[in-house]
Structure 1
Amino acid sequence: MAESNSTSEAVSYGYEGDVALVCVDNPPVNATGVAVRAGLQDAFRKINEEGKAKAIALYCAGRTFIAGADIREFGQPPKAPGLTEVLSEMEQSAIPTVSIIHGTALGGGYETALATHARVGMKGAKFGLPEVLLGILPGAGGTQRLPRLSGIAYALDIAVSGRHVPVEEGVEKGAIDRVVEAGDPREIAIAMGQEVVAGTLPTRRTDQLQAQADDAAVQQTLEMVQKKNPHLINLAECVKAIAASTKPIDEGLAAEREHFLVCMNSPQRSGLIHAFFGERAVSNIPEAKGETRSLDKIGVIGGGTMGSGITTSCLMAGIPVRLIEVQQEGLDRGVATITKNLDGALSRGKMTSDKRDAALAMLEPSLNMEDLSDVDLVIEAVFEKMEIKKDIFGKLNTICKPGAILASNTSYLDIDKIAATTDRPQDVLGLHFFSPAHVMRLLEIVQGEKTAPDALATGFALAKKLKKVGVLAQVCDGFIGNRILGHYGKVISYLVLDGASPAEVDTALENFGMAMGPHKVGDLAGLDIGYMTRQRRKEEGLPADERYGGDIADRICEREGYGRKTGKGYYLYETGAPVPNPAVDEIIDEVRAEKGITPKEFTEQEIVDRYMTAFISEATRVVEDGTAKRPIDVDMVFLFGYGFPRFRGGPLHYADTIGAAELVRRIEEYAKEDPNYWQVPPLLRKMADDGTTFADMNS
């Protein structure tokens, strides 16, 4: 019979012979919201009270097992019953229980399965405890029950990594009891329930098992997380919670709760939750919705680093690409790079060999731009020169079919000026990919003055197809990310000019949480990029930095090299690991002497404070003038495109932890040295006066 006894709007139960079937039906992912928790508690109580069943089989409707917590409850006061309480009660069921896993059993979903007396996974299903990715730890018994089944070392691997684990691996480790062919979850629940009754599928209460101490694994993991991620306190707390699994279950759960609360009260948890919601919020805007145009075939102009990366990304998403170059040598090099990228994805397990071959088969190299006549979208990815781009768009105007979208992968240039070379500016927009384009998740979608709504929405649709985070930006020099980078990049130069070494700046910001210091980033990206930008600004008559025109960086380019690509820049790369370049110290001393600057010392905190205050100042202006629609858009640009530490949530989320009043005080203090650079944005001053935050502007 169908499950008809409803215990809540999300859970029902019924009987098939002597098997009780409990069904969770809480679309879209059966999250453990209050209706599911209350429903499970009521169902298990009633089935035990009724006493008609010899086994209970738990399964889920829809495309997945319970896939985690209900994000709608994040940040809300807890509602009873709590998941820990419900699972402890389920575990103590006098009737043996089995859970049937399909899709994914993640976080509270897998913790629910751990509280049943056996776990059966369908082939292809995955399980995991990814709470660490949100700055917390498994808080409903995951750190206590998994070690009892699989041992402490494996529990540490699963819970500290947050990875999604195939059920086939889980069987080998004891985390899953059996794997069966995929099928109808209800039918499999009936079959497995009958096996429990027959005794052919053994069951056991997890809380009655004993976890064996593994001090070596605990110590090794603790040292690893403290070395690799010293800012993420939740990783160490997770290790400590798992170490407590050798205690009786009640004591272990109490310890887990203590460590969980430490994480909940940490700023890292706040930053990671902000990042989690922000990734979804950036596309939740009117401009990203509505009608879109076709994306059946894409053209890419340019087979260099960016063009090859963009092409790779499209091919991996299953979109055919026609790649255009002007010379055979460049085309061959582009195809070779794309092939290498796909081979890399294959070796990393990102795609199968069949999918790799199919992706490569969708690539059509050509030396003839007229071959773009039938594509739905063209992405120009050539040299960052306005004249070159204008010439290309002028040609595309006559070549491309009506309605085809013409996009430029420019980092800085004015999309409206590019669009003006066509008689279809409504079809033109910016699609600013970040290098390497097939890896980096950010895509700035730049709206020109006349970009049509459906063209803009198609940009967001492309981002979704490519599994990228699309962020809307308006036209200005550098859009959101590079405009802000251009501003705070100056304070990096000022710090070096005034006394800090490039290595001291890099070390301070890496200790703050940046994956790589700005001078190392410059060497990696190529110092010639900034050099060319400064030269372009001079040629276009744009204002130069009044205090510092790139003297040090330009002289490094002219005398030493462009960074990693030439073997030396701010650092030397002859031995592999970067070593400070002593010739750079000589250049710095030379420029200081010319400008009459007496160097002074900066502490790490002073470096971070100046860097972040400059960062936040320009980010505020970007929101103030509408280049970015909301503060959260700025945050996501820097999390996904510039390596800003995710646990800090983004520059404007971090700004709220400092407070507008303190930021205004800092700027006014720094302005005593340089009133031209350090100016309080009016929006920031208003926030200081009103006591408001950037978070207030995101709703």
Structure 2
Amino acid sequence: MSDLIHYRLDDGLALIGLDRAPVNALDQSMRAAISEACERAACDPRVQAIVLHGERGLFSAGADIREFGTDASFAEPDLPSTLVRLAEIHKPVVAAIGRLALGGGLELALACGYRIGEPGTRLGLAEISLGLLPGAGGTQRLPRLIGVESALNMILSGEQVDAQTARLLGILDRIAPSAEQLLEEAKAYAYELIGCCAPARPAEAWPEPAEGLPDDFLAHYRAEHEPRWKSRLAPRLVLSAMEAACLLPLEEGLAREMALFKRAEASRQSKALRHVFFAEREAARIPGIGEDIRLRRIAKVAIIGAGTMGGGIAMNFANAGIPVALLEREGEALERGLTQIRKNYEASLKRGKLTAEQMQQRMELLFGTLDYADLADADLVIEAVFEKMEIKQQVFRMLDKVCKPGAILASNTSSLDVDAIAAVVSRPQDVIGLHFFSPANVMRLLEVVRGQATAPDVLATTMAIARRIGKLPVISGVCFGFIGNRMLEPYAREAHRLVLEGATPAQVDAVLTGLDLNMGVFSMLDLAGIDVNFLIRSSNRAASAHDESYCRLGDELYAMGRYGQKSGRGFYLYQGRSRQEDDEVMALAERLAGELDVTRRAIGEQEIHDRCLFMLINEGIQLLDEGIALRASDIDLVWINGYGFPAHLGGPMHYAEHLGLDKILSGIQHYRRALGEYGEMWFRPAPLLERLVAAGRSRIERLPAQSAGANLKFLERVR
């Protein structure tokens, strides 16, 4: 018997314990072990029933994702055929589900005739997040257990359900009183089944999965949801599998499901989403810092500034059960900030996301103050004041005086020099940048900016606390705009320039949303605020002083007081949330083009795509070469989670690899020649891109240059 399985006979029961740390992933070796154990139990006349459980409590978190897209994915015994054989065993099989049954782990449980869980059990089919559909019976067995509508919602959402919900749906037959009693309760359940001569599998709860639904339910579901799916393949394949569950016998439905799964697995979208999955895990790794580093204790947090950003940041910590002191200069501003936080929680309460008790607990963790002395015992202080260097430095000088030794001092800045902020305190090793994205209590991304003097334990502690409050932290070095906003600069620059040359804002945005970005450049700038973008650009004017056309259109709109959605006018006109094109903007663009001697012409979609995306990608490659970004995959995470780049394209760096690095280099060189003086100025290929193409590489990774890069010291420090 494999060492991945603990097999025991216990008075007529075969107890099969899955024992592959940490999550009982169902790779080929585990599948083989389960198959062997179940066959042994099926053939043993002493065994009257089987209990399948997690030897260390946890049942199974599903397939080994590393196998997807490789020959190992369907290496014998593959999971679908293993579960078909399990379902054919002529003895009752009870799944004792401890903690988790996700993906293939839930499909394993569904192949058993009976299921019991512990109170804290969570179940789900999250394959959709990887661009896949359940491929081992999930789309066929689940609708026969809980009906097609409930199964469809569960599979397409990818969300986990708790034990009580699973019991109400019919996924679980019973819930044990506690996790400690799960196995004993499962054994007792098995003995009951033996005692009443229960069949190996009970009759299907929903032999007709679509019973009670209109005949055109699936067609209407598709029509209603397809606009939201955009170009995503996996949801459409799930719907096709559900149609099979409604129309075909189980055996034929399973064959159809497998064919659809293989199509999804081979798709570019699933490959991209699997890239994102592994990128998130890799982002937690800090080169040169081991897991054994001693972290600083974070028991109390302070936030400077109770505005929209500061209040949102404070909510993250309160949500995690961490006390937060919120400081403002004036009582009215403080009261306004605390009131807004309460309103945010009340909105969650109305949506059923919070209970009244949870809301009260979180509000009680928030402490408002006007006195810096009240921050003396804070372990982490985050400054979230106006984005101006002098103001932030003034705050840090005060923090240096009042904060205890060892307190981490963080600046929430979207673009400013963290080293210049650290330079004004006596303990620069304790200073770090934290770029929260707005709304801070919702957006998952957190850029963690490591300064030249930032101590390793400060960086490691910050990464850990970020994950504790539910953020996805990505490390950046110090430069203007860090990873995300620095890449936004050339992306937005090309969009502005294209409008001067003859495109419309709506035309530019349509190309980008056609690629499934959440929004185009101009709708994004209108949402964020043209005034905000102007102030960020103004702090980096030196980079564009030699080009009069650089975002001139945005500057003019700022001067006109057209700040975007909040003023009702920006690149578009707004009535509520609806927007429409504005002839005044096009007239302004035409006038500016004349003043700047920019030739206007018809602009094609491919040119819009290439100029915006190639310059975005080029800047990302340059960031990697400089060591500002540790990994190309980190850049992908920033743009997916902070700027709405579609995850099913894998992020801009992964998308570049799909397009071909040689194609991107050739495109940049083409526009360098074709756009005259403007092209010569801005279309400069990143040296790393040129080296990668010259070396015949298809993946974006660091290659050594003949001379030292701009941030060699940063690279040496993180290695």
- Shift in Å, 1:178: 3.2
**2:671 matched residue in structure 1:** 670
Q: Name 2:416's counterpart in structure 1.
A: 413
Aligned to 1:641: 642
Mapping of residues 430-449 of structure 1, within 5 Å: 430-449=433-452
Q: State the match for 1:602 in structure 2.
A: 603
> CA, structure 1 residues 615+16, in 2 after alignment: closer, same or farther (shift >3 Å)?
same
Match of 2:590 in 1: 589
> Aligned partner of 2:484: which letter?
G
> Which residue of the partner structure matches residue 61 of structure 2?
67
Correspondence 1:365-444 to 2 at 5 A: 365-444=368-447
Deviation at 1:160, TM superposition (A): 1.8
1:244 CA drift (Å) = 1.2
Gap runs ≥5 in structure 2: 704-718
Equivalent in 130, 133, 137 of residue 134 of structure 1 = 130
Deviations 1:477-505 (A, max 9, x none): 11111111112111111111111111111
Q: TM-score, normalised by structure 1?
A: 0.95
Deviation at 1:647, TM superposition (A): 0.5
AA of the residue aligned to 1:688: V
Instruction: Select 1:331's aligned residue among 331, 334, 355.
Output: 334
Following superposition, the deviation at residue 555 of structure 1 comes to 1.5
Give secondary structure in 2 for the equivalent of 1:573.
strand
Q: Give 2:88's match in structure 1, choosing from 66, 87, 92.
A: 92
Q: Give the secondary structure class of the aligned counterpart of 1:322.
A: strand
User: CA-atom RMSD, angstroms?
Assistant: 2.1
1:695 positional shift: 5.2
CA contact (8 A) 1:570 1:581 kept: yes
Q: Which residue of 2 aligns with 1:191?
A: 188
Which of 105, 109, 113 in structure 2 is aligned with 1:109?
A: 105
Cα displacement (A) at 1:243: 1.2
Superimposed CA distance per residue, residues 102-139 of structure 1 (whole angstroms, 9 cap, x where no aligned partner): 32211101111111112223334222211111011111
Equivalent in the alignment of 1:81: 77
Asked if 1:693 corresponds to 2:698, the answer is: yes
Task: Give the letter for the 2:228 counterpart.
Answer: K
Partner of 1:148: 144
Query: Alpha-carbon deviation of 1:154?
Result: 2.4
Name the SS of the counterpart of 1:244 in structure 2. Answer: helix
1:661 pairs with 2:662: yes
Instruction: Single out whichever of 581-590 and 140-149 deviates more from structure 2.
Output: 581-590
Distance 1:363 1:588 in 2: 48
Counterpart in the other structure of 1:219 = 219
Q: Which runs of 5+ in 1 are unaligned?
A: 1-6
Cα deviation per residue 1:386-412 (whole Å; 9 max; x = unaligned)?
111111111111111111111111111
Deviations 1:28-58 (A, max 9, x none): 2222122321121111111121111222121
- Contact 2:110/2:142 (CA < 8 Å) preserved in 1? yes
CA contact (8 A) 2:549 2:596 kept: no
Deviates more, 1:195-204 or 1:603-612: 195-204
Amino acid at match of 1:223: A
Counterparts of 1:368 and 1:459 in 2: how far apart (Å)? 25
Deviation at 1:292, TM superposition (A): 1.7
1:440 Cα shift?
A: 0.8
The percentage of counterpart residues that share the same residue type is 39
1-structure distance, mates of 2:685, 2:693 = 11
Which amino acid in the other structure matches residue 22 of structure 2?
P
User: How far apart are 1:580 and its partner, in Å?
Assistant: 2.2
Which residue is equivalent to 2:652?
A: 651
Q: Which amino acid aligns with 2:153?
A: D
* Equivalent-residue separation in structure 1 for 2:379 and 2:117 (angstroms): 42
What's the secondary structure of 1:155's corresponding residue?
helix
Cα offset, 1:212, TM superposition: 4.6
Matches of 2:277 and 2:169, distance apart in 1: 30
SS at match of 1:286: coil
- Report if aligned partners of 1:132, 1:159 keep a CA contact under 8 Å in 2: yes
1:463 CA drift (Å): 0.9
Instruction: Write out aligned runs for 1:615-630 (5 A).
Output: 615-630=616-631
CA deviation profile, 1:173-194 (whole Å, cap 9, x unmatched): 3333333433332112211111
Cα distance in 2 for partners of 1:451, 1:64 equals 39
Amino acid at match of 1:633: D
Counterpart for residue 244 of structure 2: 244
The answer as to whether partners of 1:635 and 1:653 remain within 8 angstroms in 2 is: yes
Contact 1:171 1:179 in 2 (8 A): yes
Q: Distance in 1 between matches of 2:694 and 2:535?
A: 41
Find the aligned partners of 1:512 and 1:174 in 2 and give their Cα distance. Answer: 40
- Once the 2 structures are TM-superposed, how far is the Cα of residue 73 of structure 1 from its aligned partner? 3.0
Change in 2 beyond 3 A, CA 1:691/1:547: farther
Query: 1:225, 1:235 within 8 Å by CA — same for their partners in 2?
Result: no
Distance of 1:562 and 1:471 partners within structure 2: 30
Alignment match, 1:118: 114
Structure 1 residue 206, shift from structure 2 partner:
7.4
| CA-to-aligned-CA distance 1:75-112 (integer Å, 9 cap, x gap) | 44213211111101110101121212232211101111
Distance 1:46 1:336, change over 3 A: same
> Pairwise mapping of residues 21-60 of structure 1 onto structure 2 (< 5 A)?
21-60=15-54
Q: Which amino acid aligns with 1:516?
A: M
8 Å CA contact 1:16, 1:190 repeated in 2:
no
Q: What is the rounded CA distance, in whole Å, between the counterparts of 2:55 and 2:194 in structure 1?
A: 23
- Return closer, same or farther for 1:170/1:504 CA change in 2, 3 Å cut-off: same
Pairwise CA distance, 1:143: 1.3
TM-score for the superposition, normalised by structure 2: 0.92
Partner of 1:668: helix, strand, or coil?
helix
Aligned match of 2:580? 579
Tell me the residue number matched to 2:465: 462
1:519 is matched with which residue? 522
- The number of equivalent residue pairs is 691
CA distance in 2, matches of 1:603, 1:515: 21
Residue-by-residue CA offset, 1:272-307 (whole Å, 9 max, x unaligned): 111111111101123664222121111110111111
Which whole-Å CA distance do the structure 2 matches of 1:625 and 1:129 have between them?
40
Cα separation, partners in 2 of 1:186 and 1:35, compared to 1, 3 Å: farther
Amino acid at match of 1:12: H
**CA separation in 1, counterparts of 2:230 and 2:84?**
33
C-alpha deviation, 1:450, in angstroms? 1.0
Q: Which amino acid aligns with 1:321?
A: V
1:568 aligned residue: 569
Measured in 2, the distance between the counterparts of 1:208 and 1:297 equals: 51
Q: Which moved more, 1:339-348 or 1:456-465?
A: 339-348
- Contact 2:62–2:103 (CA under 8 A) maintained in structure 1: yes
Distance in 1 separating the partners of 2:139 and 2:78? 17
What does residue range 279-290 of structure 1 map to in structure 2 within 5 Å?
279-286=280-287, 289=291, 290=293
Whole-angstrom distance in 1 between the partners of 2:66 and 2:156:
25
Mapped to 2, the partners of 1:209 and 1:551 lie a distance apart of 63
The reply to whether residue 498 of structure 1 matches residue 501 of structure 2 is yes
Supply the AA of the counterpart residue of 1:175.
Answer: I
Bigger drift between 19-28 and 307-316 goes to 19-28
Task: From 157, 160, 164, give the equivalent of 2:160.
Answer: 164
